[in-house]
């Protein structure tokens, strides 16, 4: 007999929690929807009340993750108190903190192959996070001369890529990826070099 450890109405939440745990343990392709059901303590047929299959479950985890992520990015942006540079630094640190605290959601969002644009709701919440970074980049470049000002979308994607690369190489605890510097120090120094290259920060003597 299958043990049911959820109350009526929260089957979906139990399955999402189980999927997050399985993603962290086995990766996004290392488990089946039946294993998620077993982890949640429900019958193998129960997940199909809410999801078409494993990919739907992973997309739901990604959606939840992007919602948390976007909230965190908005909070970090506000911490800049009107300074675009301070906002970008806070956003970058928030990126690292999110990946460290929520590895299952992070993997579902960025490493599972989930099609973000296939789900309008997922695309909307993912774009909300990106738009925070674009807004900060817009403010950063607002006073730059037009002839040297890069598109704010490009700036935001450069900073996103830098943050993502540091997470992948140094903030996930992967064997073989060692650095004498913390991920936060790497991000801060990398961002400083980038902003000085743009002329936003004064060059060091």
Residues 65-87 pLDDT 10s: 999 999 999 999 998 887 888 88
Query: Which pLDDT score, from 0 to 100, does residue 174 have?
Result: 56
Q: Please count the other Cβ atoms lying within 10 Å of the Cβ belonging to residue 161.
A: 10
Query: Which pLDDT score, from 0 to 100, does residue 91 have?
Result: 92
Average pLDDT of span 10-23:
92
Query: Which pLDDT score, from 0 to 100, does residue 124 have?
Result: 92
Over the stretch 42-56, which tens digit does the pLDDT of each residue have? Answer: 888 888 888 888 899
Alpha helix locations (H) across the chain?
11-26, 33-40, 54-79, 84-101, 103-110, 120-141, 152-170, 183-198
C-alpha of 48 from chain center: 27
Confidence of residue 2 (pLDDT cuts 50, 70, 90): very low
Q: Considering only residues 6 and 111, tell me which one the structure prediction assigns the higher pLDDT.
A: 111
Identify the DSSP state of 116. Answer: G
Average pLDDT of span 79-100:
89
Query: Which pLDDT score, from 0 to 100, does residue 64 have?
Result: 93
d(CA 172, CA 155) in angstroms, rounded, equals 25
Over the stretch 177-205, which tens digit does the pLDDT of each residue have? Answer: 567 888 889 999 999 898 888 877 666 65
Identify the DSSP state of 204. Answer: P
Report the mean per-residue pLDDT for the chain. 85
The domains located in the chain, with CATH, are 1-51 (1.10.10.60), 58-198 (1.10.357.10)
pTM across the whole model:
0.84
Asked whether the predicted pLDDT for residue 18 surpasses 90, the reply is yes
Over the stretch 141-187, which tens digit does the pLDDT of each residue have? Answer: 877 777 777 888 888 899 999 999 998 887 665 545 567 888 889 99
């Amino acid at each position: 007999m299958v043990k049911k450890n959820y109350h009526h109405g929260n089957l979906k939440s139990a399955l999402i929690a189980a999927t997050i745990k399985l993603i962290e343990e086995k990766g996004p392709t290392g488990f089946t929807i039946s294993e998620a059901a077993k982890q949640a303590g429900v019958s193998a047929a129960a997940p199909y009340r809410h999801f078409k299959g494993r990919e739907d479950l992973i997309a739901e985890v990604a959606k939840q993750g992007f919602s948390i992520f976007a909230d965190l990015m908005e909070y970090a942006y506000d911490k800049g108190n009107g300074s675009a540079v301070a906002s970008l630094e806070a956003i970058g640190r928030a990126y690292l903190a999110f990946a460290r605290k929520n590895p299952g959601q992070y993997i579902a969002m960025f490493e599972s192959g989930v099609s973000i644009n296939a789900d309008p709701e997922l695309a909307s919440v993912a774009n909300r996070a990106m738009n925070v970074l674009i807004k900060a980049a817009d403010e950063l470049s607002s006073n730059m001369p037009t002839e040297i000002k890069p598109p704010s979308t490009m700036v935001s994607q450069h900073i996103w890529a830098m943050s993502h690369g540091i997470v992948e190489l140094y903030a996930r605890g992967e064997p073989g990826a060692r650095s004498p510097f913390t991920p936060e120090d790497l991000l801060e120094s990398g961002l400083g070099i980038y902003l000085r290259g743009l002329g936003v920060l004064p060059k060091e003597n």
